[in-house]
Structure 1
Amino acid sequence: MNLIKIFRLKSHAGLFLILLVYLGITGYTSWQSSLGNGPDEMAHFLYARFLHKAGYLPFSVEDRQVAGYKSDQPPLYAALVAALFRGGTLDAPPFVKLTYKVPRRHLVTDAGIDEVRVNSPQVLATEDPLAGEILFWRFGRWLSTLFGALMIGIIYSLALQVFGDFAQPRRWALAATASVAFIPTFIYISGVFSYESLVGLWLALYLWVAVRLLKKPEPAWLYLLAGLFIGLAMVTKLSALPAPLSLVALVLIVGYRAGWPKWRYLTRLALSGLGVFFTAGWWFILIQLKLNKVAESGWVAGLIQPILGDGSDTASLEAAYILSGGQIGSNIEFAVQATLWDWAEYLFRTFWSLRLKGPEIIFISLWLISGLIVLGLIRVWRQEPKARLWLGFLLFHTALFFGLPLIRFITTQLVNVAGQGHHILFPAMGAFAVFITWGLSKGWPAWPRRPWWAGLVLGLALLSWNITAQVIQGFQPAHRPLPVRTTPPVAPPSAHPLGLDFGPKSLMGYELKGLTSEQGCCQANYPALGVYLYWQAKEAAPEDYRTVVSLVDSQDSSRTVWVGHAANGRFPNRAWEPGDNVREEAWLPLVGLPAGHYTLKLEVWGQQGPLTLPGGSTFTLGPVELTAVPPAPLATPFHLWQTGQPVGPAAVFGSRSTVQITADPGDTLTLIGPDQAEHTPRKGGRANPCVCD
């Protein structure tokens, strides 16, 4: 018996390979992608976090404000994340730094882009460990990836049923599975905090039951099971609301083919409806009992209000406005009129790739492949009358999920909201697997003995696209981590401990980078001395203080100076919050300085001058012995420096970035700013520092 089981497992080895590759590439993509980078990911996190901490559904206005704008959606995915998480408390650091409703965090500038602020709801990446809210967010992503893997397995089983009468059915099923498992949009969305893969799983299970019933209209309990899966999809996401129409069509098709009497139609529909009601009815009843506005707005508007009219998104408000006759919601004025073609093109592109970049030739090829699929399906319809049953039902099921995006586009004209292809891909992914493989086998009959091969080739091509773009080129995070932690330690053990009180912040320690010994400087690959300052924020800062670090010679003359803000301008003091542990990196170019004894000094400047300490405004950090002077990096009269390295004249500096220039002592430099005004930098030996504000 065990040998038989092993043999059966080996016969599905291709599926296990697909799952292994899927888990690897999705896990990598998810890990590399910054938190909050996925569509509405922050809202899903807020909803799940509320359920985990509060332990009940958000029905009051106050609770929904805390739970975020997705709290009007059905709760199943968020509830599963909240219930299954066992990674510790969410009431202690580290906390996720959301810009949502925290204006102070909007002061943080984006990675390397001048004057671009984080004004939309995003997450500030920090150096905190994988614990607390950060671990909770990652756990939500892992569950999404797991649901995607289960979805792949169900689609494989579904394809085995559809192609069960074909020669080599397992290879047909393998090709069908591969053709959708490596679609970049599926990989990306399955790796973020989102309910899409769970919705796709329930509807894939429903299609699996539907195919069973299309083959054999009994037993009766399968209709109940089909309804249960539809209801689970509806209680996961409201966009599954059209799915019951697919269930009705299934019963009508099965009954017509079997020649049922009317009473059997009614009993099967009743069983299906009971399944939907059992898994989804409770939520719709509960939300209407708790949140309906019938007394204030009448029956229609009052029942729509809890679902569509609470202000969660623009499209919902517009739909509520239309359905209620203008009583609730809002009417949107469009600055730009988009066309139906704009919507269709955006939908097509995001169906295949939501975020993954690629040359235009890839999308042109996908248009051609899609044309071959459609041509092949037409040939299947004409040449194989028995196939019309499968195609007709699957086409109807798929068409249902085009309806809501189309209505949203018509009512809002927002292509980027109403044309997101993953809203079509996930609910009908099982159907697309059949369409792609069957259509390509007829539309591109290059392998008459192995017609399933075209679907497998497409899957391998999509996998290659993923690997090339995400692994070889690197899938870079949307935002570089800020040098801040919300958990201990304030400074590493190697830092020199301090306790300097500068009012809103305290300097807890410092560390020198590039030393050859305790005080000797510097290593050959360090053209600048690195000074790491470890701060702890005690209260909200009233202004953005500038840190001044100087290397002073024996004559008390500053020979090289750093003037700047934390994270090279990306993380100014006003963005710091009480409890933040911030590492500020200052760099002091050493090119051209004579060997000898120097002293490292520190000042903190505000708008009214330097902040004072008990012993004055300047603090001596410690001695530095310059023993090995780095050679000049380039044979030019002056050099630009950025974070301790020389850069070319085409270097890009962000808002509030520190710009350092080294030049010969007798040279006069003139800087021309964006206002076209000329400025002469303050000179101190060879270092001429300024801060771009």
Structure 2
Amino acid sequence: MTWLSSYIIFIYLVLAVAYSIVTPIGRGADEWAHYWYAQFIAQHGRLPLNPAERETAGYKSDWPPLYHLGAAAVTAWIEIAGPPTFKYRAEPEYIRRQIIPAPRSEAILHTEDELFPWRQEILVWHVGRFLSIVFSLGTLWVTYRLALEVFAGSKVAGSRGLPGAEHPAGERGSEGAGAQRSRGAEGHGNRAPRFTLHASRFTPHVLALTCVAFLAFIPRFLFTGMLFNYDSLTLLIASLFLWLGLRIAKGYYPRWGFWGLGALAGLALLTKYLTALLPLEIIFLAFISRGAGGHTPSGAPKGGRGGGESLVSPSPPRSSAPLLHLGQAILAFVLVTSPWFSYLLVNFNEVEAYGPVLGIIAPLLRGDGSDRTVEQIFAWVSGGQTPPPAYIDQQHYSFWQLLTQFFATFWTNPINQPSLLDGFIVAMTLIALVSILGLVLWWRSTLASSPASCRLLLSLLLLHCSLPVPLMLVRLFGARDTLEAVQGRHILFLAGPAIVILLVWGLSRLTPHAPRLTFQALIGLLLTGSILQLLSMWQNYPAPLPVQTTPYPVVDAVTPPVSVELPGGAAAVAAQVEQVDAALRITIFWRGGPEPAPEDYQMELALMDGQGQTRASWLGYQTQARYPTRVWEAGDTIRDEAWLPLAGLARGDYDLRLRILSQSGPVVDWQTLSPYTFTAPVAQPANESNTWVLWQEGQVVSTPPLLRERTTAQFTSADFSSPSASLQLIGPDAVSRTAATAGNGWANFVVGPEWPAGEYRWQPEGEVVLRVAPSQRNFQLPMVTHPLEANFAGQVKLLGYDLPQRRVQPGEGLPLTLYWQGLRWMGEDFVIFERLLDNEGMAWGGYDRRAKENYSTLFWAPGEIVTDGFAVPVDAAAPSGVYHLSLGWYRRAGEQADSLAIINPATGQPTESTAVMIGPIKVGGPPSGITMASVAPQTEMNVTLGEQIKLLGFDLANQQMSQAVPVTTPRLLASSPLYLTLYWQALAAPQTDYTVFAHIRNAAGETVAQKDSPPAGGVYPTSLWDAGEIIKDEISIPLEQIKPGQYEVVVGLYDFTTGERLPVAGVADGAIVLRLFEVGQ
């Protein structure tokens, strides 16, 4: 037993430490929040005392602190003042760090500072993780003791079996003195059938070790059990609680057992609130379990060593003092938890806000308000005194998705799909179902003969396993992502030992004839899954970024013979050149400059022979854009690595040259980095199918690699004679792409951000050469309802917009979608401004923002289409009227804003304009004085135009507006304009801005005078009219150029864009004749 247990523990420790090292810092669930909480305690020597300190300590600082107190205690000795320091991605002043793609949960950039030897904060993390491993190791020990409690005894023998006949020789010895005492008790006449939970071929110790190995090698236990969070300690305390409960159920610790249960339940609650239902087990034990008193009726003594005692029948009477036991547990629970709850009530009560009752409940229930589920519960408890959390668009999933998520996160740590572990998850889930079947069959077959103690143990294990379920179900209604709420790890890290005991129990009942093979295969499968999980993390977690906040321990490095400095101040400080197999590895070490670089630069290397011919070449973004130049900071030391293939080169002396390229050309022209003497020719790589071979990190790749954007694909020809000028890669879009640089026998392709994901070949039907990874970028412009082009300073172009509605009420938001296009890689975080302007130019809404709220222009690629949907906020005090939205871009210049000028497309020069106007937009009602409730026109018409607008009538006047023209045919003076007032009524909400035409025609039908203008002088466009509104439209037509004679005035509406008139029934040209009149001198 000793060597087997040592073997299991050794393998567990090796795997757990490997998991800890391979898993990047902060990658586990909420690890950062636990780290910040523990660090606050370590630095201040206490818990946070007010909301501001809680904000500093992280969003877990309202949770119980037992784990964090322990983590702070074991890490307080570590000096954390850097360097090395963490590069937090979310810090506003370091937004450039977000140029590097990373999962949303990543709090930092993972750099080579994290490599061994660990120092400062990195050391804190690993010490904290090792503490979690110690707690998990303790859980494995408790699992062993738990399993011994359950599996002690011998197999079910039925009424004919005698104790001595039930045990193989090996088992008889393993039972110890407790079993002998039980047999002695049976000698007093209580010769009842005994039961066992294990197969006869295995001793309880072997079954217990099987349970330990089962739990130890579950990949999820290995992963979560080593993280810097409270799950490992939670499971340890919950397991101790269950162990003590089983011991009490078997009659041990009558004097202090329930005191211990209460204390352990309190400690569990001080670790994680998910354990809040553990007291239900105490109630169960107090009222349902056997008595814990001195002797059983059969004379079995109350003492004995753990794990070796068998359970005997008949059952002893139930305890006569359940309330006393409950009182003991409650008192212990209160004593343990009262310091924490007192701290909450003293420092975080909300009595002033909610009164004495809710004010006391608030800090106990809702904490800092960061948990949506808790906030919803508190809103319900408060009866509406506190509003529920803001509505979220909850993600919904099918039952199958929820079920697969549960099992995937119970057995493994899913990283990507499809996964190496999919088959393992299916296999383990099927094994679990088979084990459950074994338990059910065993229960049905032995229900009548099994003693009550057996059913009690099974019931207690099942109750323990079910405790997390209610809280998980509650979270389903508050979590944004329900997949998070149903993760199986929540059950594993409260009831893991109980679950594996039940599964081993069930399997042992179904495989009584081949138990050894069964359990060996099970442990082998688990070990395979653990190793696959480790390999999956190794493959999928990206390598640390090639940068340190401390200098690299550079060996055999040389200082560049010439100064190489980049815009922003970054400079090359050292270089290493070494041959590795068939390639030359060149490593340039850069020091970050005081200012950020305006763009990401490319480094070009050339190995030139004595005739000045380039024999090997490299072109790629610095660090392959993994840590691009725009992200470099003062204090950084960047390791930039490139490779030059040497295959096929002749012996001789070469010059290694370097230059740095920007988007517009060299920023550092060719410089000699170092001479290089090539003494040992390298054989050409074998290549039967292609003339060209692809290199990665100095090696020829045999399978098509998956490349991300801005990665270099380096090719050489097998004979250095293949032409490269016409070398082209054909992508999945059938577009040919040429090399960025090419020469005699070599070519460098740089994967552009616009390259579509998929396979690339030399010929359309040829072999796959490389694959390009999918990208979140979009380069296809969708359908735009209002296309336009506005080029802002050659940086960003507005391609159009969607304005689904032109009406909005004060205090609401106006939905708008803008379509932007990046014109280049940008080195600045430009900001959009939007201002909702009235006719006087006063702003009544809008705000400054990034595209898509957080998609900085630093992240955009040239040609990328950014669909930017949002709602323009409208001031609640905005008066009714017609508005226009002014929008543009600016750069921050200290406390000032420097707007980007719009480029004239004809000349390419900046204009004085810095904004685009979108509109018109109706806020509230119509402008003042434009509409009328009712009218009594001089002449009624009631003519309908295009089923949209009706002309109710008109007024006609000459000389003065107040002088109405008589009803009879008027005679007008040419020296005075014709004043025409039209009364329009909207029959529906028009979708077009129409223009009114008012023409004066002579007897021949010729237009001799006219006035075309939007209704109401453009103050109230027709697209904003609401059905039923009556609009007063005043028009003035000069008559000075009209000769005396008879004329008619006609009016109508037309679309200014197309010239198409609204039709009028019975009128061919859509012109409504208002009246005949004469013009005199």
Out of 505, 509, 523, the position equivalent to 1:460 is 523
CA deviations 1:409-457 (Å, max 9, x no partner) are: 244473421111121112122322432233333344435xx7xx58844
Out of 437, 446, 450, the position equivalent to 1:372 is 437
Indicate the residue corresponding to 2:593 in structure 1. 538
Deviation at 1:583, TM superposition (A): 0.9
CA deviations 1:618-670 (Å, max 9, x no partner) are: 43212123444434433644343333333468332212112333353574223
Distance in 1 (alpha carbons) for counterparts of 2:614 and 2:207: 75
Distance in 2 (alpha carbons) for counterparts of 1:352 and 1:54: 38
Deviation at 1:214, TM superposition (A): 1.6
Call closer, same or farther: CA 1:244–1:508 in 2, change over 3 Å.
same
Distance in 1 (alpha carbons) for counterparts of 2:677 and 2:612: 15
1:272 paired to 2:326? no
Distance in 1 (alpha carbons) for counterparts of 2:707 and 2:213: 45
Distance in 1 (alpha carbons) for counterparts of 2:639 and 2:393: 45
Indicate the residue corresponding to 1:659 in structure 2. 713
Deviation at 1:350, TM superposition (A): 2.4
Out of 67, 71, 89, the position equivalent to 1:77 is 67
Alignment of 1:48-63 (within 5 A): 48-63=38-53
1:510 paired to 2:575? yes
Indicate the residue corresponding to 1:252 in structure 2. 287
- The alignment partner of 2:476 has SS state of helix
Distance in 1 (alpha carbons) for counterparts of 2:30 and 2:472: 16
Deviation at 1:12, TM superposition (A): 5.4
Call closer, same or farther: CA 1:624–1:58 in 2, change over 3 Å.
same
Distance in 2 (alpha carbons) for counterparts of 1:177 and 1:353: 17
Out of 541, 544, 551, the position equivalent to 1:481 is 544
1:492 paired to 2:551? no
1:44 paired to 2:34? yes
Alignment of 1:310-389 (within 5 A): 310=368, 312-313=370-371, 315-317=373-375, 319-320=377-378, 323-324=381-382, 327-328=386-387, 330=389, 332-334=391-393, 336-340=395-399, 342-355=401-414, 357-359=421-423, 362-363=427-428, 365-376=430-441, 378-379=443-444, 381-386=447-452, 387-389=454-456
Aligned-partner residue type, residue 706 of structure 2: V
Distance in 1 (alpha carbons) for counterparts of 2:400 and 2:448: 29
Structure 1 stretches of 5 or more lacking a match? Answer: 1-10, 110-116, 515-522
- The alignment partner of 1:93 has SS state of coil
- The alignment partner of 1:688 has SS state of strand
1:126 paired to 2:111? yes
Deviation at 1:42, TM superposition (A): 2.8
CA deviations 1:387-409 (Å, max 9, x no partner) are: 11212222222222211112212
Out of 147, 152, 173, the position equivalent to 2:135 is 147
Question: Would you say the 8 A contact 1:669–1:681 is kept in 2?
Answer: no
Distance in 1 (alpha carbons) for counterparts of 2:745 and 2:253: 88
Deviation at 1:509, TM superposition (A): 0.4
Out of 16, 25, 28, the position equivalent to 2:18 is 28
Call closer, same or farther: CA 1:638–1:350 in 2, change over 3 Å.
closer
CA deviations 1:201-228 (Å, max 9, x no partner) are: 1111111221222222653322222111
Aligned-partner residue type, residue 108 of structure 1: I
Q: TM-score under structure 2 normalisation? A: 0.56
The structure where strand makes up a greater share of residues is: 2
1:205 paired to 2:240? yes
Indicate the residue corresponding to 1:112 in structure 2. none
CA deviations 1:239-263 (Å, max 9, x no partner) are: 11111222232223348875556xx
Indicate the residue corresponding to 1:303 in structure 2. 361
Distance in 2 (alpha carbons) for counterparts of 1:673 and 1:319: 54
Call closer, same or farther: CA 1:454–1:586 in 2, change over 3 Å.
closer
Greater alpha carbon shift after TM alignment, 683-692 vs 18-27: 683-692
Call closer, same or farther: CA 1:45–1:458 in 2, change over 3 Å.
farther
Tell me the C-alpha RMSD between the 2 structures: 3.3
Aligned-partner residue type, residue 543 of structure 1: E
Distance in 1 (alpha carbons) for counterparts of 2:729 and 2:258: 77
Greater alpha carbon shift after TM alignment, 47-56 vs 668-677: 668-677
Distance in 1 (alpha carbons) for counterparts of 2:736 and 2:369: 47
Distance in 1 (alpha carbons) for counterparts of 2:400 and 2:648: 62
Indicate the residue corresponding to 2:176 in structure 1. none
Call closer, same or farther: CA 1:352–1:680 in 2, change over 3 Å.
closer
Out of 103, 108, 117, the position equivalent to 2:100 is 108
Greater alpha carbon shift after TM alignment, 355-364 vs 237-246: 355-364
Call closer, same or farther: CA 1:60–1:607 in 2, change over 3 Å.
farther
Greater alpha carbon shift after TM alignment, 559-568 vs 679-688: 679-688
Call closer, same or farther: CA 1:536–1:313 in 2, change over 3 Å.
farther
Call closer, same or farther: CA 1:396–1:37 in 2, change over 3 Å.
same
Distance in 2 (alpha carbons) for counterparts of 1:137 and 1:667: 52
- The alignment partner of 2:97 has SS state of helix
Distance in 1 (alpha carbons) for counterparts of 2:538 and 2:442: 36
Call closer, same or farther: CA 1:312–1:171 in 2, change over 3 Å.
same
- The alignment partner of 1:177 has SS state of helix
Call closer, same or farther: CA 1:14–1:642 in 2, change over 3 Å.
closer
Indicate the residue corresponding to 1:114 in structure 2. none
Call closer, same or farther: CA 1:595–1:461 in 2, change over 3 Å.
closer
Indicate the residue corresponding to 2:633 in structure 1. 577
Distance in 1 (alpha carbons) for counterparts of 2:354 and 2:665: 60
Aligned-partner residue type, residue 575 of structure 2: Y
Indicate the residue corresponding to 2:882 in structure 1. none
Deviation at 1:595, TM superposition (A): 4.5
CA deviations 1:548-587 (Å, max 9, x no partner) are: 2222344545443322223322221223332221111112
1:650 paired to 2:704? yes
Deviation at 1:81, TM superposition (A): 1.3
Distance in 2 (alpha carbons) for counterparts of 1:332 and 1:195: 30
Deviation at 1:592, TM superposition (A): 5.0
CA deviations 1:169-214 (Å, max 9, x no partner) are: 4334334433433322212222222321211111111112212222
Aligned-partner residue type, residue 352 of structure 2: A
CA deviations 1:457-482 (Å, max 9, x no partner) are: 47524443345525788854612122
- The alignment partner of 1:194 has SS state of coil
Aligned-partner residue type, residue 652 of structure 1: L
Aligned-partner residue type, residue 107 of structure 1: I
Question: Would you say the 8 A contact 1:295–1:302 is kept in 2?
Answer: no
Distance in 2 (alpha carbons) for counterparts of 1:431 and 1:241: 18
Question: Would you say the 8 A contact 1:511–1:531 is kept in 2?
Answer: yes
Call closer, same or farther: CA 1:382–1:345 in 2, change over 3 Å.
farther
Distance in 1 (alpha carbons) for counterparts of 2:462 and 2:749: 64
Question: Would you say the 8 A contact 2:601–2:622 is kept in 1?
Answer: no
Distance in 2 (alpha carbons) for counterparts of 1:185 and 1:383: 38
Deviation at 1:43, TM superposition (A): 2.6
Structure 2 stretches of 5 or more lacking a match? Answer: 155-166, 172-203, 292-315, 415-419, 753-1081
Question: Would you say the 8 A contact 1:179–1:455 is kept in 2?
Answer: no
Question: Would you say the 8 A contact 1:87–1:136 is kept in 2?
Answer: no
Call closer, same or farther: CA 1:321–1:16 in 2, change over 3 Å.
farther
Indicate the residue corresponding to 1:529 in structure 2. 584
- The alignment partner of 1:497 has SS state of coil
Q: TM-score under structure 1 normalisation? A: 0.84
Greater alpha carbon shift after TM alignment, 298-307 vs 418-427: 298-307
